[in-house]
């Protein structure tokens, strides 16, 4: 089993240049949109998901000629916002910037989720993704993943995360499974507090997104051991991927994608897919995404549907094998 084992969603990158706005406008479904759209961000303002949602919302608003209102509906690991969109009218006026949590992990982690990430949504298009970095406090005494695994077999190590069910938490669970070790998960209310305690030595290690670690890596207060992507991170080119570091079948990439309620008319989905892909070729939007430390993905709506089904199944295996619960 390999998380994000399909590259199909990355392969269908038939992106239209943003400059072809007249051609894109000509393809607009008749009568839509004639009023503002709502883009639900299922996490609080100020989070990475919120920032990404506002970048996308601004691009869509300009291209559609209608306001795209970003609505933060947080709670239950993104489940509150996702459930609200699943229950919305499938008329093309409500969208969600879903994540690997809301549309993959939560299906296995949360009882009575209130929605089905496959059945209740029409995939529109993948947006961006990022791996996470395995970082540790420098005085721990390990200089590689192999040495960290050996240390974990000698004594219990503590791994911080931004919360139960986050990419960092699941990466730690996968580290235990692939390394044949048992470590202790220490969940925090947010990633910033977890990083602070890692730097101060209150916890031993943590999986976190590259941008959140970068200033501390540069300062020498966090030692990066590996990244969980398929390729090395552009912001940390000297840090090996997990396979290079000795742990195979260890690819974890957090991702964000656009969904509409199930039953949304196909012409509207197709138009929105073209726009999502167009945002990823727009120089200003792309530069802003790069500053967030994420990588553009894009592709067809069908590829996002495949990704969603594959990710639900893959994370179900990890959650069950690791015995993770949301309690």
Q: Which CATH entry fits the domain spanning 8-129+253-322: 3.40.50.720, 3.40.190.150, 3.40.50.300, 3.40.50.1400?
A: 3.40.190.150
Nearest to 208 by CA among 271, 132, 267, 277: 132
Locus of tokens 């008329």:
91
State yes or no: pLDDT of 152 exceeds 90. yes
Look at 20 and 244; give whichever has higher pLDDT. Answer: 244
* Residue ranges of the chain that CATH labels 3.40.190.10: 133-245
Q: Which residues contact 199 (CB under 8 A, 6 or more apart)?
A: 137, 216, 221, 222
State yes or no: pLDDT of 25 exceeds 80. no
Fold of 133-245: D-Maltodextrin-Binding Protein; domain 2 (3.40.190)
Give the integer Cα–Cα distance in Å for 25 and 27: 5
C-alpha distances in Å from residue 63, one per residue of 19, 52, 118, 243, 269: 11, 17, 28, 41, 15
The confidence score (pLDDT) of residue 165 equals: 80
* Residue ranges of the chain that CATH labels 3.40.190.150: 8-129+253-322
State phi, psi for 164 to the nearest 5 degrees: -65, 130
Share of the chain above pLDDT 90, in %: 70
What average pLDDT score do residues 223-240 get?
93
Its sign, for the CA torsion 108, 113, 116, 122, is negative
What average pLDDT score do residues 79-85 get?
95
Tens of pLDDT, residue by residue over 176-185, are 999 999 999 9
Burial 134-154 (b: 16+ CB within 10 A, else e): bbbbeeeebeebeebbebbee
Look at 16 and 111; give whichever has higher pLDDT. Answer: 111
Q: Is the peptide bond before 100 cis (omega within 30 degrees of 0)?
A: no
State phi, psi for 65 to the nearest 5 degrees: 75, 20
Q: Which of 234-238, 270-274, 279-283 bottoms out in mean pLDDT, i.e. has the lowest?
A: 234-238
Its sign, for the CA torsion 204, 207, 213, 217, is positive
Q: What is the pTM of this model?
A: 0.83
Tens of pLDDT, residue by residue over 41-70, are 998 888 889 999 999 999 999 999 999 999
């Amino acid at each position: 089993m390999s998380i994000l084992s399909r590259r199909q969603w990355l392969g269908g990158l038939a992106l239209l240049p943003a400059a072809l706005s007249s051609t894109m406008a000509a393809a607009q479904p008749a009568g839509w949109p004639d009023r503002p759209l709502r883009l639900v961000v299922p996490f609080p303002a100020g989070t990475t998901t919120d920032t990404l949602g506002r970048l996308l919302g601004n691009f869509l608003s300009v291209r559609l000629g209608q306001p795209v209102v970003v609505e933060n509906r947080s709670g239950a690991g993104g489940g509150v916002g996702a459930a609200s969109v699943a229950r919305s009218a499938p008329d093309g006026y409500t969208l969600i910037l879903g994540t690997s949590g809301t549309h993959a992990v939560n299906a296995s982690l949360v009882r009575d989720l209130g929605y089905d990430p496959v059945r209740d949504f029409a995939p529109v298009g993948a947006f961006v993704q990022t791996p996470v970095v395995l970082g540790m406090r420098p005085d721990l005494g390990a200089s590689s993943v192999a040495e960290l695994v050996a240390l974990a077999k000698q004594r219990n190590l503590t791994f911080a995360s931004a919360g139960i069910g986050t990419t960092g938490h699941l990466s730690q669970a996968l580290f235990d499974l692939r390394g044949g070790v048992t470590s202790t998960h220490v969940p925090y209310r947010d990633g910033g507090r977890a990083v602070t305690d890692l730097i101060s030595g209150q916890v031993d290690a943590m999986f976190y997104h590259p941008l959140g670690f970068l200033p501390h890596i540069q300062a020498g207060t966090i030692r990066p051991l590996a990244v969980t992507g398929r390729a090395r991170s552009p912001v940390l080119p000297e840090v090996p991927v997990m396979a290079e570091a000795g742990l195979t079948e260890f690819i974890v990439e957090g991702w964000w994608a656009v969904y509409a309620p199930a039953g949304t008319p196909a012409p509207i989905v197709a138009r929105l897919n073209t726009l999502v892909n167009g945002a990823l070729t727009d120089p200003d939007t792309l530069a802003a995404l790069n500053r967030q430390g994420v990588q553009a993905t894009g592709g067809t709506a069908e590829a996002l549907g495949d990704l969603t089904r594959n990710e639900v199944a893959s994370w179900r295996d990890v959650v069950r094998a690791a015995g993770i619960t949301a309690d």
